[in-house]
Amino acid sequence: MKTYLDILKNVYENGIDRDDRTGVGTRSIFGVQARYNLQEGFPLVTTKKVPFKSVVSELLWFIEGSNDERRLAEILYGNKLTDKKTIWTANANADYWKPKAKFNGDLGRVYGVQWRSWRTFKPLSHNEDNLLVGNFEYVDQLKDVIERIKTDPFDRRLIITAWNPGELNEMALPPCHMFMQFYVSSDGELSCQMYQRSCDMFLGVPFNIASYALLTHMIAQICNLEVGEFVHTMGDAHIYKNHFDAVEEQLSREPLPLPTLWLNPDIKNIEDFTMDDIKVENYQHHPAIKAEMAV
């Protein structure tokens, strides 16, 4: 994970200090790209422990198209009645969002909803006031992209976007990782490039790298392809000021060999994966480093 650590060090040593929405303050640089060859090991950060089960559960929750934080808790803990927290609990309970929430745990039209149910208006006619009337239709971007990878792998439109300008005010948190494009090489390798507008280099980015690398592996398997690269293009790459000590601790550690990913080879449909079908093997890591998430 030298690529990630080099970027983390660059932001810490050369970034500019700025105010931010949370009031915590950041040090940031703008415009960074990292490339991870998925055939060289699974890119799970080793200089601290990354909670891989949280990565898996969130991705499965996205794939479901859910907007319910309590459903995420159920996937993670295997218990419908759990009151345990998830990485989305703070957002679901944020003061700025709670008045908009329609039920306990509602996050609005966040990532998975956009992936699986992008809402579009189909006009049918004009009413007596000459206003358009019609129906909402829904686009399943994930299903469509997977089908096109199978049937037209060299298509340059293998794209999924979570950034929906018309619905940003209906989300507990506008998407940070917002746009992905897939690419199939002539020798049958699937790569994914993701654009992330806002990049919490210490807490969020290791999680995002693992999540999109995992998604690439899962789609490759169900499309009978090998994996290629995960390309991570970052906009505002920042370290929160209350993470500086944690970053110094992480940068003082030597990386360890990368783990490998195991997927249940019997799974042929993206919606059939469960927590038990996804594992990392030989994950050697330094101890976890705790830091508070800015909300």
Q: Which residues contact 49 (CB under 8 A, 6 or more apart)?
A: 285, 286, 287, 288
- 163 falls within a domain: yes
Structure confidence at residue 221 (pLDDT): 98
- 132 falls within a domain: yes
Pairing of strands 226-240, 189-200: parallel
The total of structural domains in the chain comes to 1
Both structure tokens of 182: 């897939």
Phi, psi of 68 (to 5 degrees): -105, 110
> What is the C-alpha separation between 246 and 251, in angstroms, rounded?
9
Structure confidence at residue 122 (pLDDT): 77
- 13 falls within a domain: yes
C-alpha 26, offset from chain centre: 21
Structure confidence at residue 60 (pLDDT): 98
Structure confidence at residue 124 (pLDDT): 67
CATH of residue 127: 3.30.572.10
Residues classed as catalytic: 176
- 259 falls within a domain: yes
Structure confidence at residue 7 (pLDDT): 98
- 94 falls within a domain: yes
**Range of the structural domain that residue 71 is part of:** 2-281
- 16 falls within a domain: yes
Q: Which residues of the chain have pLDDT under 70?
A: 123-124, 128-129, 132-133
- 232 falls within a domain: yes
Taking only the tens place, the pLDDT of each residue in 223-239 is 999 999 999 999 999 99
Structure confidence at residue 128 (pLDDT): 67
> What is the C-alpha separation between 215 and 273, in angstroms, rounded?
11
Structure confidence at residue 202 (pLDDT): 97
- The helix/strand count (H/E) of the chain reads as 8, 10
Structure confidence at residue 79 (pLDDT): 86
Structure confidence at residue 294 (pLDDT): 75
Residue 292's SS3 state is: coil
Is 272 within 8 Å of 280 (Cβ atoms)?
A: no
Pairing of strands 189-200, 177-184: antiparallel
- 150 falls within a domain: yes
**Of 265, 268, 289, 288, whose CA–CA distance to 277 is shortest?**
265
Both structure tokens of 271: 């919606």
